[in-house]
Amino acid sequence: MTCGPQDSYEYVATRFRCPDGTNPFAGDSSRASQSRLGSSPAPSGNHILDTYEVPCKAGSVKVYVDMYGCPEYANRLEAIEAAGQDESEQQRAAFQKGDFEGVIAGCKAIAADASAEARAWCMALIPASLYALKRNAEALAELTGACSRLPPATADNDVRATELALTFVALATLSQKGKFEASESQRDAMVDSWLSGCQVPAQQLQRTLESMQEE
């Protein structure tokens, strides 16, 4: 376990050892950060795991790092979960209790003049609820449909990445509570389908998640 993104990069760049005892990054955290493949909720339901592919001499090795391994960052994750509770507070409470059909109905009925924050959370909670109900095709269609109504992802506009990040956080919360289960490969495929369907660069999603964690 590590404590935040920089500590994760430092671990991969220095403390990790290939089978032959070497580290190809030789302490270069910037190079180590570029080897990151993505994130997914931990199989055990604890926190979020980053996956790195380290180019060892004998062949690439996947390294899984829990960057929430300290109270500071665990508390930041809890703060993310507590965000956005204005008009959507009822739907978020229902989501965490497992009333996914109620979330879908409630969010679809949310007032047109609801706050932008409430609408953003509901755009994330609907597909997250569908994933929890194992209605994956509907979930992806809902998420990509929401993205299509948002500006394209650019260096100056991360609104699509924000929607994906909120969906990710919602499902990670369920995983921590034992209410969402998927294998690592299923989770990787799910996130890949989001990035492809919403045309969001993986690095932009990662930066968005990191900025949310730092707030």
3-state secondary structure of 127: helix
Dihedral sign, Cα of residue 196, residue 198, residue 203, residue 208: negative
Instruction: Show the tokens assigned to 57.
Output: 């001499």
Q: What's the pTM value of the predicted model, to 2 decimals?
A: 0.57
pLDDT digits (tens, 9 = 90+) for 24-61: 999 998 788 778 776 565 555 555 677 889 999 999 99
pLDDT at 82 over 60: no
Rounded distance between C-alpha atoms, residue 11 and residue 29, angstroms: 8
- State pLDDT tens for residues 139-160: 999 999 889 888 899 988 888 9
Coil/strand/helix, residue 193: helix
